[in-house]
Amino acid sequence: MEKRSVIVGYRLFLSTLTFSAVITQFIMRSQTKPFNPVNFFSYFTIESNILAATILALSCFSTAKYGRFEQLGILRGAATVYIVTTGFIYFLLLRGLEESLQTPIPWVNVVLHYIMPIGALLDWVINPPIKRITWINTLSWLLFPLVYVVYSLVRGPFVDWYPYPFLDPRDGGYGMVAAYSLGITIAIGSICILVRMLGNTNGRMRKSNSVEY
């Protein structure tokens, strides 16, 4: 019971902190004109943080009430992949571009790009799912990033706006976008494999206790 309480508190804190950061950023940006809310929610950073925080909140209440979280294991794995991708791509390609990424508030930037990616990954490692993650599950985690890239490239010309420099063909052309997209796909694929490996390896140890948080 004590361990369950710690896990519930950890997830509640992380999800609340993340929602607070997203809401703060939305309110701040909405006061700067022109403001396009669709653009705001078209950042992968915002989407992945909202998804990860939502899954953590659901698992928090599920753990508090039932002590189990087996049903949403695949979604939790997907959320972990996406939020870790957010942190990795930010650190590798986007540091210093906080204003254009609409995360100029220092504490908001730290939460969305550092604390949440690390916190969600730790939650996955410490509290892995009981059900084994299959390769089909792992491949399915690539669908959302693929849809996101297609959405960004199709919408971009209509609104004359792209969420990230590496998705903007106006500077280096679509060849540059394709090269970046290929590299990022390889990175996300590697993260998917890592998350699957961590979940299955630690999950086997947890399964012997027949308990999942």
Domain that residue 139 falls in: 2-207
**CA within 13 Å, CB half, 12:** 11
In angstroms, the Cα distances linking 181 to 24, 174, 201 are 30, 10, 30
CA dist., res. 113 & res. 91, Å (int): 8
What pLDDT is recorded for position 47? 97
Give the helix/strand (H/E) hosting 128. Answer: none
Say if residues 185 and 142 touch (Cβ distance below 8 Å).
yes
Please report whether residue 212 resides in a domain. no
What pLDDT is recorded for position 177? 95
Please report whether residue 57 resides in a domain. yes
Domain count, the chain: 1
What pLDDT is recorded for position 213? 47
Would you call 157 helix, strand, or coil by DSSP?
Answer: helix
What pLDDT is recorded for position 64? 65
Give the helix/strand (H/E) hosting 49. Answer: helix 44-66
For 72-82, what is each residue's pLDDT tens digit?
789 999 999 99
57 Cβ contact partners less than 8 Å away, ≥ 6 residues apart: 11, 12, 15, 19
CA dist., res. 153 & res. 185, Å (int): 16
CA dist., res. 134 & res. 74, Å (int): 9
Please report whether residue 213 resides in a domain. no
For 84-119, what is each residue's pLDDT tens digit?
999 999 999 998 888 777 778 899 999 999 999 999
Mean pLDDT, each 10-residue run in order, the chain (213 residues): 79 96 94 90 97 92 63 89 97 86 87 96 90 93 96 96 94 93 96 95 60 46
